[in-house]
């Protein structure tokens, strides 16, 4: 492990502790940052970095174990009197609704981008 990687891991652990302390304190982010002498923008920046790293690890682990990311198709109710002509996709907490005439290649590219950006 090189020093940059060690520093990045230390920084992640440090900010994860800070964010855990803030949650446990029950204070708002603004109040906690003011009391701790942390600029709010820095807190939000580090929070975003931690979330992105967590998403990358999650997607990487999913790809390593299965080679695929799970995509659940939400079926259109068959009890509906009228066909909606829509495609409903759920990727984690993201819902995608597309017209059935939407090109499949573009829909696949959208899903790929969402998986990579998660």
Q: Three-state SS for 12?
A: helix
The pLDDT confidence band at residue 73, using thresholds 50, 70 and 90, is: very low
Identify the residue with better confidence: 97 or 29.
29
> Quick one: which H or E segment has residue 53?
helix 40-66
The pLDDT confidence band at residue 105, using thresholds 50, 70 and 90, is: confident
Give the number of residues written for the chain. 118
Phi, psi of 77 (to 5 degrees): -55, 125
Per the CB < 8 A criterion, the answer to whether 79 and 65 are in contact is no
Give this prediction's pTM. Answer: 0.51
The full set of domain ranges for the chain reads 3-66, 72-117
pLDDT of residue 71: 52
Least confident interval from 2-6, 42-46, 96-100, 113-117: 113-117
pLDDT of residue 116: 66
Provide the CB-side half-sphere exposure for 92 (13 A, CA).
12
**Alpha carbon distance 92, 72 (integer Å):** 8
């Amino acid at each position: 492990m090189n020093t940059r990687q060690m520093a990045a891991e230390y920084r992640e652990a440090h900010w994860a502790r800070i964010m855990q302390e803030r949650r446990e304190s029950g204070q708002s982010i603004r109040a906690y940052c003011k009391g701790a002498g942390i600029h709010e923008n820095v807190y939000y920046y580090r929070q975003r970095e931690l979330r992105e790293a967590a998403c990358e690890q999650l997607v990487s682990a999913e790809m390593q174990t299965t080679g695929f990311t799970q995509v659940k198709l939400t079926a259109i109710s068959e009890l509906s009197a009228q066909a909606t002509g829509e495609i409903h996709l759920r990727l984690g907490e993201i819902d995608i609704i597309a017209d059935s005439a939407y090109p499949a290649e573009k829909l696949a590219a959208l899903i790929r981008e969402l998986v990579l950006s998660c």
